[in-house]
Amino acid sequence: MLARNAADAEEAAQDGFVKAWRALPRFDRSRPFRPWLLAIVANEARNRRRSAGRREALVLRAAASTSDADRAGSPELALLVAERDAALAAALERLDERDRQVIACRYLLELTEAQTAAALGLRVGTVKSRLSRALERLRAQAGAEVLHG
């Protein structure tokens, strides 16, 4: 989500883990480990993408799969659900990068607000306010048809 392609994400994760290993002696044991590790790896991903100057599009492939059929109850409805998901993914893709990242971390990856803050290098308060604005913009992008079908 931050590196914008799987290969860079894998390299960033690996390099982030190595950095975390080397930084372990400086880790404050009184603080939670996961946000610390998340911040290191996320920072690595952002730096990697920044240095590469890449602007690859994130493609969220909404899966027209058995889960759609399960959710919808019939193949016809499953197709409609898949189309709505694809439209929502497209609307998400049209958002500004910062809006997209905060929504993706919080809802697609289902991180907590604190974890989202750690991953994006923000304060929790910033995550809350940015998320609120980003959802409004996504709602405007997606339109009523996508949201209410």
Is 9 a binder of other proteins (CB under 8 A)? yes
Is 36 a binder of other proteins (CB under 8 A)? yes
DSSP output for 49-83? HHHHT--PPP------SHHHHHHHSSHHHHHHHHH
Number of residues located near other proteins, criterion CB under 8 A: 60
Is 95 a binder of other proteins (CB under 8 A)? no
Is 78 a binder of other proteins (CB under 8 A)? no
Among 32, 65, 80, 93, binds other proteins (CB under 8 A): 65
**How far apart are alpha carbons 119 and 112 in whole angstroms?**
10
Rounded alpha-carbon distances, angstroms, from residue 122 to 15, 52, 86, 102, 116: 22, 23, 29, 10, 8
Is 122 a binder of other proteins (CB under 8 A)? yes
Residue of 109, 92, 102, 96 lying closest to 131 (CA atoms)? 102
Among 80, 88, 115, 145, binds other proteins (CB under 8 A): 88
Residue of 20, 30, 146, 27 lying closest to 81 (CA atoms)? 146
- Name the residue nearer to other proteins (CB basis): 21 or 76: 21
Residue 66: other Cβ atoms inside 10 A: 9
Q: State in angstroms the smallest separation of the CB of 80 from other proteins.
A: 13
Positions that interact with other proteins (CB under 8 A): 6, 9-10, 13-19, 21-23, 26-27, 36, 39-40, 43-44, 46-47, 49-51, 53, 60-63, 65, 67-68, 71, 84-85, 88-89, 92, 97-98, 101, 103-104, 107-110, 120-123, 125-126, 135, 138-139, 142, 147-148
